[in-house]
Amino acid sequence: MNSNHAEPTAVHVLNWQWLGRQDYLPTWQAMRALTDARDAATPDQIWGVEHPPVFTQGQAGRPEHLLDAHGVPVVQTDRGGQITYHGPGQAVIYLLLDLRRRRWMVRETVQRIEEAVIRTLAHWSIEGVRHPGAPGIYLASSEKISALGLKVRNGCTYHGVAINVAMDLQPFTWINPCGYAGLRTLDMASQGANAAVEQVAATFAEEFAALWQTQGGGPTMKP
């Protein structure tokens, strides 16, 4: 809020919503609809969800990276990246942001999302690291703990990032995660963290809000 106590404008508002357990397809459709309908006054939003088991394939996804679906639904999406898995025990955070208002480039946005994941993991004493050329966050021992994929349309983002909290990791062995054969995937629980999915998603939202800044000042988080 500024010095004359006026209500913050849309450019300074970042709305956070925890949506709970949601099917993937209608959530994706809702993201697309909001992005298509938004205008200069539409506040930016972060949605936190937990999905039933689903594999999602990015725009450039190659079918050979799906080794065996074992009956899990596979959805072809419009985000970047290759194939990944979503399931119970994973915090999925969708970022519906107008980059034009921040004058951010896509790479800069990805770096800030990754930094927010690193800061989130640090709350549970887990060290997250980047791998050059491979979006997402890894452990120092090279296992992946967070996957990232965005879509940018008319300067606005949707899709987002997933953080593995405490989940069945076997489905990751049925794919080449993010297109990397043999890439091992772990979760926060395997690193000794006792955390709830909603808690991790909300912590990410707080950390990202701290990075979502402009020359006019930081954002106002609204639940």
Active site positions, annotated: 178
| 81 annotated binding-site participant | yes
Nearest to 56 by CA among 30, 80, 35: 80
210 is in an annotated binding site: no
For residue 107, say whether it is annotated as part of any ligand binding site: no
Q: Which two tokens stand for residue 146?
A: 């967070």
Residue 102 assigned ligand-binding role: no
Residue 184 is assigned to a ligand binding site: no
What element of type H or E holds 91?
Answer: strand 90-98
DSSP state letters, 129-195: EEETTEEEEEETTS-EEEEEEEEEETTEEEEEEEEE-S---GGGGGB-GGG-TT--B--SGGGT---
The helix (H) or strand (E) run that includes residue 18 is strand 13-21
Q: Is 94 annotated as a binding residue?
A: no
Q: Residue 17 and residue 107: Cα distance in Å, rounded?
A: 25
Check the annotation: does 158 bind a ligand.
Answer: no
Q: In the beta sheet, which residues pair with residue 181?
A: none
- Any known ligand binding at 213? no
Q: Which two tokens stand for residue 103?
A: 């004058």
Tell whether residue 83 is among the known ligand binding residues. yes
Residue 149: phi, psi to the nearest 5?
-160, 130
42 annotated as ligand-binding: no
Summarize the annotated binding site as residue ranges.
Answer: 79-86, 147-149, 160-162
Which residue positions form the known binding site for substrate? Answer: 79-86, 147-149, 160-162
